[in-house]
Amino acid sequence: MILNGFQNVSQNAYGHCKLKTGRHSTNIFPQMANKYNIEIGEDSEQVIKFLENKIYEHNSEAINKSDGAFFSRIVKDDQGVIIAGIAGWTWASACEITQLWVDETARKNGIGKILLEAAETEAKSKGCVTVLIKSYGFQAPHFYERYGYKPEHIQIDFPEGYNYYILTKRLIDTK
């Protein structure tokens, strides 16, 4: 049975939901049984943007900072094709680099370093103190370490057999 978007869910006469798992069932969402429908989002990118905006609104209100801004820089070759880029955001004296990519044919030419420096310059211009970046072990964590980023956390087996790094760099010493 499908109830409110969940398979293997049944509802009793009192509006309590039970999730059937093998021989056992578990009460779930008793207060929500007749109020809400959980649906698959038709356009996941649109849902993600909506959620990001709502979380930003909440966070900005919580700490009274609404100076968030996205940034991006790209590098094009002689034919106008994008061969590298960096993107991220700044907010509340913090910066996150969310993407840094250099085409395989353009690597080892200093483009990644130039893009990283451009992002750090942007972050400093917005008063950011710290930059955060995430990287899989098979991507470029050691590249970031060469430019002063320190691993804050390494998640082992994410995905299985690979490590996921969270690295930060202090741009301004506040001590």
DSSP the chain: -EETTEETEEE-TTS-EEEEETTEEEEE-GGGTTT------S-HHHHHHHHHHHHHHHHHHHHT----EEEEEEEE-TTS-EEEEEEEEEETTEEEEEEEEE-GGGTTSSHHHHHHHHHHHHHHHTT--EEEEEEETTSSHHHHHHTT-EEEEEESSSSTT--EEEEEEESS---
Residue, of 15 and 163, whose pLDDT is higher: 163
CATH level 2 (architecture), domain 44-170: 3-Layer(aba) Sandwich (3.40)
Residue, of 26 and 54, whose pLDDT is higher: 54
Instruction: Compute the mean pLDDT over every residue in the chain, rounded to the nearest whole number.
Output: 87
Among 33-37, 134-138, 144-148, the range scoring the smallest mean pLDDT is 33-37
Could you give the percent of the chain with pLDDT greater than 70? Answer: 79
The predicted structure's pLDDT at residue 35:
82
pLDDT digits (tens, 9 = 90+) for 1-20: 343 444 444 444 444 444 44
Intervals of CATH 3.40.630.30 along the chain:
44-170
pLDDT at 104 over 90: yes
The predicted structure's pLDDT at residue 5:
44
pLDDT at 75 over 90: yes
Output the pTM of the full model: 0.78
The predicted structure's pLDDT at residue 124:
97
The predicted structure's pLDDT at residue 31:
64
In this prediction, residues 96-116 reach a mean pLDDT of 97
